[in-house]
Amino acid sequence: MRRMDINEPLEIVNERGEVIGLALRSEIHSNPSLMHRVVHVLIFNKAGELLLQKRSLNKDVAPGRWDTSVGGHVGVAEDLLSAARRETEEELGLTDCDLQYLYSYIHCNSSETELVASYRCIYEDPIGGIFFNRREIDEIRFWSFHEINLAVGKQILSPHCEIEYVNYVRFLDTYRCERRNSS
């Protein structure tokens, strides 16, 4: 399992995801002009509930808050799908999740700018089969959309999770509209 290293080099990218340089993680996380790539994986059960992870209290960003199923940096010279698979295995121990690319978006805050690539998969086994990384995650559980809607804006979810959720709902709305229009 890879340990987080503030001196780890990460790729700086433009809005199209093209690599334009390298910088240390510590530099990237303190300079929003240095956009870098991250992946999110949204894991759903058969009932359509979304797996969220409760971030460890030891995390420097959003400690103790619920976050996306999986999230992490894309390594140097690593493609997005490989990064999503690696992060899914590192955080949840899952190696057989059939990942489907959803969309990309730019997330910017006062300390960093990320080019996020989001994926999803359906996990059909009992939640007890997920062996999550206890150094990074305190708890996992599936949430209904209703429960997530009730938590939005109450500092229960991480800011990243709330933004990802809004993007996913927007994606679903667009998908449904396109399907209706093509019928």
User: What is the CATH number for 143?
Assistant: 3.90.79.10
First CA to last CA distance, the chain: 47
Model pTM above 0.85: yes
59 domain residue, yes or no: yes
Structural domain range at position 94: 9-182
Q: Provide the pLDDT for residue 183.
A: 61
CA distances from 78 to 11, 73, 130, 144 (A): 10, 10, 25, 33
Reply yes or no on whether the pLDDT at 127 is more than 50. yes
85 domain residue, yes or no: yes
4 domain residue, yes or no: no
Q: How far is CA 181 from the centre of its chain?
A: 30
Under the banding of pLDDT at 50, 70 and 90, the label for residue 128 is: confident
**Looking at 35-49, 92-106, 165-179, which range is the least confident one?**
165-179
Beta strands in the chain (DSSP E): 9-13, 19-24, 35-44, 50-55, 66-67, 70-73, 100-108, 113-122, 137-143
Reply yes or no on whether the pLDDT at 51 is more than 60. yes
Which amino acid, residue 68? T
- Beta-bridge partner residues of 117: 39, 104
Share of the chain above pLDDT 70, in %: 93
Under the banding of pLDDT at 50, 70 and 90, the label for residue 66 is: very high
Pairwise pLDDT comparison (42 vs 179), residue with the higher score = 42
1 domain residue, yes or no: no
**Looking at 99-103, 127-131, 144-148, which range is the least confident one?**
127-131
Q: Provide the pLDDT for residue 87.
A: 96
2 domain residue, yes or no: no
What tens digit of pLDDT does each residue of 144-172 get?
Answer: 999 999 999 999 999 999 999 999 999 99
Q: How far is it, in rounded angstroms, from Cα 113 to Cα 106? A: 7
Q: How far is it, in rounded angstroms, from Cα 66 to Cα 47? A: 20
Q: Provide the pLDDT for residue 1.
A: 44
Total domain count for the chain? Answer: 1
107 domain residue, yes or no: yes
